[in-house]
C-alpha cells in the first residue's frame, strides 16, 4: 500500500504516486518477483473460502518439467509454511493447485488461510524466492495473472486451467479530486466524447464494506466534472442513503472507483493526514493535475471545475502539521511471531485487553463483525490458548436486541476490563444500521450464562465526541483506575490535575476512547445513571488511532495506529499538565504492516504471575505484547515484546525524600524528588498520611513501577521515608483483587 512520508519544511499532505490499475493487486506489481525458476509462476489466487477452501494455482510456462519437491509455499507470514511433498512435478504447460487443508481430510494441503490483505510466495528447496504476489482485498471471484503479466479480477474461478477475464474496456471515467476535511466530497471527470451512464458505478474508501453506488438515472456528460457530496443520495446495500451514511473520508484513507460489475476502475492511493495549506484544511484538497492521469497531489479546492494544483517551489510535499512521524525505534524485540497459525478467530479482529488474575495473565479479544469476544490464557512467551469453555467465544448484544437473536448487533471495535470485573466494549455503530453514527460503550458481564450476553448498561457518547462519519468513530476503549490518574491527568473542565471526587458516580476510573478520524483520544467519566462526561483530551498526533492500552509497568497510555500510519504508536506519560510527555515509536521491524486494530501489553513481568513456571522466569527482561489484525483468517494475532530491564542493576546515590501530604478523604498526591540506590531511573510510589501519597523520583537504572522491582529496592529506599513497604503491600492488594492499573 502506498504511504506518505514526512518531508521537512512543508505543512501539507499528498498522495504517493499511483497509476490507473486493473485491480488492488497492482500495488504489488513492482515487487512481483520471479527469480529461481521463471517458468513457474502463480497464476490464480482464491483467498475468500473457495472450493474446497482457499487455494493458489501455479503454472509451468516452460518447455520442460519442473520438480517442486521440497519447495515451500508461504503467505505474508514466514511462520505459515507448506513444504510441497516429494514427487511434486509440473509438466510443461500444466497447472498445479495447492489447496487449504480441510478438517478430517487426508488430502495434502497448507494449514493456514489466506487473508483479505495478504501475499503468496514460493521458495525453492534452497530457500531462494521463485515467485510472489500480493493483494489488498478479497476478489469477488479470484485474482488472476493476465497475458500481459499484470493481475486482475477474473470473470470466474478457473482452477487448473487458463484464466478468463471480462473483455477490456477503454475507460474515460476517472477520479479527479477528493476532500476529507472540513467536508467530505469526491469529484469524477469524464474525459471521453460521449455521456456515461453511472448507474451501478461504486465508490469505496479503504474498506470494502463501505460502499456507495450511483442511483438509476445518474449520468456524466463529456468533459464534465461531477461532485459526489456528503448529501448525495445513492444505493447503499439493499436501500438508499446519503454518501456520508456509507463513507466517511478519514485522515488516513483512500478512495476507489469500481465499475457496475465490481472491477476496480480507479484508485487515489492511500494518504496519511488531511490535506492542508498554511495550516488550513479548508484551503486544500488532493487532486490530479491532469485529467485522468498522474498521481494525486496537494491542490486548491475546485469542486465541479478543472483542478488547480498547489505549487511551492521552495519546499516539497509533507504531512498535516497535526500529524508527526515516529522517531524512536520500538522499545522491544524487533521481531514478532504469529500466535494463531491455525484458525482461532473470525475475520474482523479488532480489540484486545489484558487482565491480571491470580492464575496469570488473561487476554480478551473482540471481533467487530458480530460483537463476538473471547477469553484467552497466556504464557510468558505470548502464546495463547482459549480459556476453558471459550473456544466459540460469546456474542455481545444491545439491550434492544435482547429478544432478537438475528439482529446484527454492535460494531464492537474495542474491549477493556475495568476494576469492577466487567468488560466494556466500544461500538461505533449498529451493524444493522451502518449508515448511522452511534458511538456506544456497553457494559458486559463475562460470566453471564449462554453464548449471547446482553449489555447490563449502555452509554451513548455520540454527542460528547467530535462529529464524524459512522465508520470513523470509536475504535478503541481502555479503562484506567483513578489511582493512576489522580493528580496526573489534566482535567479540561477544571483546568487543574484530575480529582476523582469532581465526578461522583463515575466508579473507580475513567474510560479512554479513540476516535479513528484524526487520531483523537478522550477520557470519559461513565456515570452510574447512564450519563457521560468528557474529562480530557490527549493528542497522539497520529493520522489515526485504532488501539489503546494502559501499560501498568511503564505507567502510561499507548495509542496505536494501523498500516495507515505504518503501525506507528504514541506513548503518553501523564504529568499533571495539559502537555503530557509523549514519545512516538515505529512498529517493530519484523511486525507485518497490516491493519492492526488491537494492541495490549502484559500487565506484569513474567515473575509476577503465579502460573508461570520457573523455567520461564528467565524471560523477565522482556514481557509480551500483542497486536490484532482485521481482515485475516489466520495470522490475526501477533505477539512481540517490550523490554523490562532486569531488577539487579542500578547505580548508587542517596535515598530520595518526599513530603507525603496530609489528611484523609479524597486522595491528593504530594510530590518529592531525590536520588536513590538500586534499579532507578523511574518513579516509585510512597504513600502519605491517611488518604494521601507522595511520589519519589530516583536515578540509577531501571523502572520502579513493577511490584517485583519495588520489593527488590525496598531495603535501599527505607532511608527515604520508611513507607515503601506499605506501598508494596497496597499495590499487591490491588493485584490480588484483580484490579487493572
- The total number of residues shown for the chain amounts to 741
Among residues 399, 400, 359, which one has the least CA distance to residue 376?
359
Task: Return the CATH number of the domain spanning residue range 24-153.
Answer: 2.60.40.1260
Residue segments in the chain with a per-residue pLDDT below the cut of 50: 1-37, 313-319, 606-620, 646-741
pTM assigned to the model: 0.62
Tell me what pLDDT residue 169 has.
59
Tell me what pLDDT residue 150 has.
83
Which cell numbers hold the place of 268? 487515489
What's 515-572 look like in SS3? ECCCCEEEEEEECCCCCEEEEEEECCCCCCCCEEEEECCCCEEEEECCHHHCCCEEEE
Which cell numbers hold the place of 688? 502519605
Helices (H), 405-531: 482-485
Return the C-alpha torsion angle 224, 225, 231, 233, nearest 10.
40
So where are the chain's domains? 24-153, 173-309, 337-643, 668-736
**What is the C-alpha separation between 570 and 582, in angstroms, rounded?**
6
Among residues 31, 299, 49, which one has the least CA distance to residue 177?
299
Tell me what pLDDT residue 621 has.
65
Helix, strand, or coil here: 726?
Answer: helix
Tell me what pLDDT residue 538 has.
96
Question: Strand 410-417 and strand 360-367: pairing?
Answer: unpaired
Which cell numbers hold the place of 435? 449508515
Tell me what pLDDT residue 684 has.
35
For the chain, the straight-line distance linking the first and the last C-alpha, in angstroms and rounded, comes to 37
Tell me what pLDDT residue 30 has.
33
- Which region holds residue 77: left if phi is over 0, alpha if psi is between -120 and 50, else beta? beta
The verdict on domain 173-309 having CATH code 2.40.420.20 is no
Fold match, 24-153 / 173-309: yes
The verdict on domain 337-643 having CATH code 2.115.10 is yes
With vertex at residue 171, the alpha carbon angle to CA 168 and CA 175, rounded to the nearest 5 degrees, is 135
- C-alpha distances out from residue 87 to 37, 57, 557, Å: 17, 17, 54
Amino acid at each position: 500500500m502506498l504511504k506518505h512520508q514526512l518531508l521537512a519544511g512543508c505543512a501539507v499532505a499528498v498522495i504517493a504516486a499511483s497509476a490507473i490499475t486493473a485491480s488492488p493487486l497492482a500495488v504489488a506489481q513492482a515487487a512481483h518477483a520471479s527469480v529461481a525458476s521463471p517458468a513457474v509462476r502463480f497464476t490464480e489466487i482464491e483467498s475468500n473460502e473457495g472450493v474446497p477452501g482457499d487455494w493458489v494455482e501455479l503454472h509451468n510456462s516452460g518447455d520442460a518439467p519442473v520438480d517442486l519437491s521440497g519447495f515451500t509455499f508461504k503467505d505474508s507470514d514466514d511462520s505459515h509454511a507448506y513444504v510441497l511433498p516429494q514427487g511434486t512435478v509440473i509438466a510443461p504447460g500444466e497447472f498445479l493447485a495447492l489447496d487449504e487443508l480441510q478438517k478430517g481430510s487426508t488430502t495434502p494441503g497448507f494449514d493456514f488461510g489466506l487473508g483479505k490483505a495478504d501475499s503468496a510466495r514460493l521458495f525453492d528447496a534452497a530457500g531462494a524466492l521463485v515467485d510472489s504476489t500480493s493483494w489488498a482485498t478479497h476478489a469477488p471471484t479470484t485474482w488472476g495473472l493476465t497475458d500481459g503479466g499484470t493481475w486482475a479480477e477474473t470473470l470466474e474461478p478457473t482452477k487448473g486451467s487458463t484464466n478468463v477475464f471480462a473483455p477490456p474496456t477503454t475507460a474515460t471515467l476517472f477520479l479527479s479530486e477528493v476532500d476529507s476535511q472540513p467536508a467530505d466530497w469526491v469529484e469524477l471527470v469524464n474525459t471521453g466524447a460521449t455521456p456515461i451512464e453511472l448507474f451501478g458505478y461504486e465508490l469505496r474508501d479503504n474498506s470494502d464494506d463501505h460502499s456507495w453506488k450511483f442511483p438509476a438515472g445518474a449520468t456524466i456528460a463529456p468533459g464534465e466534472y461531477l461532485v459526489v457530496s456528503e448529501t448525495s443520495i445513492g444505493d447503499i446495500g439493499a436501500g438508499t442513503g446519503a454518501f456520508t451514511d456509507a463513507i466517511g473520508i478519514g485522515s488516513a484513507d483512500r478512495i476507489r472507483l469500481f465499475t457496475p460489475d465490481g472491477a476496480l476502475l480507479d484508485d487515489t492511493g492511500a494518504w496519511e493526514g488531511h490535506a492542508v495549506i498554511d495550516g488550513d484544511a479548508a484551503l486544500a484538497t488532493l487532486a490530479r493535475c491532469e485529467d485522468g492521469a498522474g498521481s494525486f497531489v496537494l491542490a486548491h479546492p475546485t469542486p465541479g471545475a478543472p483542478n488547480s494544483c498547489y505549487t511551492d517551489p521552495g519546499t516539497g510535499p509533507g504531512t498535516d502539521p497535526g500529524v508527526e512521524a515516529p522517531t524512536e525505534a520500538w522499545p522491544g524485540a524487533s521481531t514478532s511471531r504469529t500466535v494463531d497459525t491455525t484458525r482461532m478467530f473470525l475475520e474482523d479482529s479488532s480489540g484486545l485487553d489484558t487482565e491480571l488474575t491470580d492464575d496469570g495473565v488473561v487476554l480478551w479479544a473482540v471481533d467487530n463483525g458480530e460483537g463476538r469476544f473471547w477469553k484467552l490464557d497466556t504464557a510468558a512467551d505470548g502464546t495463547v490458548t482459549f480459556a476453558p469453555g471459550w473456544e466459540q467465544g460469546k456474542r455481545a448484544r444491545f439491550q434492544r436486541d435482547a429478544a432478537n437473536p438475528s439482529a446484527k448487533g454492535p460494531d464492537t471495535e474495542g474491549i477493556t476490563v475495568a476494576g469492577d470485573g466487567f468488560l466494556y466494549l466500544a461500538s461505533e455503530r449498529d451493524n444493522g444500521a451502518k449508515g448511522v453514527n452511534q458511538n456506544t460503550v456497553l457494559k458486559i458481564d463475562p460470566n453471564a450464562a449462554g453464548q449471547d450476553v446482553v449489555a447490563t448498561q449502555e452509554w451513548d457518547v455520540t454527542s460528547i465526541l467530535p462529529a464524524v462519519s459512522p465508520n470513523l468513530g470509536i475504535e478503541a476503549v481502555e479503562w484506567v483506575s483513578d489511582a493512576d490518574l489522580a493528580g496526573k491527568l489534566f482535567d479540561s473542565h477544571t483546568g487543574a490535575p484530575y480529582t476523582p471526587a469532581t465526578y461522583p458516580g463515575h466508579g473507580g476510573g475513567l474510560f479512554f476512547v479513540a476516535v479513528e478520524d484524526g487520531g483523537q483520544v478522550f477520557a470519559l467519566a461513565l456515570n452510574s445513571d447512564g450519563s457521560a462526561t468528557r474529562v480530557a483530551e490527549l493528542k497522539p498526533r497520529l493520522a489515526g488511532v485504532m488501539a489503546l492500552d494502559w501499560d501498568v509497568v511503564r505507567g502510561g497510555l499507548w495509542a496505536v495506529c494501523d498500516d495507515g500510519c505504518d503501525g506507528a504508536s504514541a506513548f503518553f506519560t501523564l504529568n499533571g499538565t495539559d502537555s503530557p510527555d509523549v514519545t512516538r515509536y515505529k512498529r517493530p521491524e519484523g511486525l507485518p504492516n497490516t491493519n492492526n486494530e488491537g494492541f495490549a501489553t502484559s500487565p506484569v513481568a513474567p515473575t509476577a504471575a503465579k502460573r508461570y513456571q520457573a523455567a520461564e522466569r528467565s524471560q523477565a527482561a522482556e514481557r509480551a505484547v500483542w497486536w490484532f489484525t482485521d481482515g485475516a483468517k489466520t495470522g490475526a494475532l501477533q505477539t512481540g515484546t517490550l523490554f523490562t530491564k532486569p531488577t539487579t542493576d542500578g547505580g548508587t546515590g542517596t535515598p530520595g525524600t518526599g513530603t507525603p501530604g496530609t489528611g484523609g478523604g479524597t486522595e491528593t498526591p504530594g510530590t518529592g524528588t531525590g536520588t536513590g540506590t538500586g534499579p532507578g531511573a523511574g518513579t516509585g510510589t510512597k504513600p502519605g498520611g491517611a488518604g494521601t501519597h507522595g511520589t519519589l523520583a530516583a536515578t540509577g537504572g531501571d523502572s520502579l513501577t513493577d511490584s517485583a522491582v519495588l520489593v527488590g529496592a525496598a531495603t535501599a529506599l527505607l532511608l527515604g521515608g520508611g513507607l515503601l513497604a506499605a506501598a508494596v503491600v497496597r499495590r499487591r492488594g490491588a493485584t490480588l483483587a484483580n484490579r487493572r492499573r
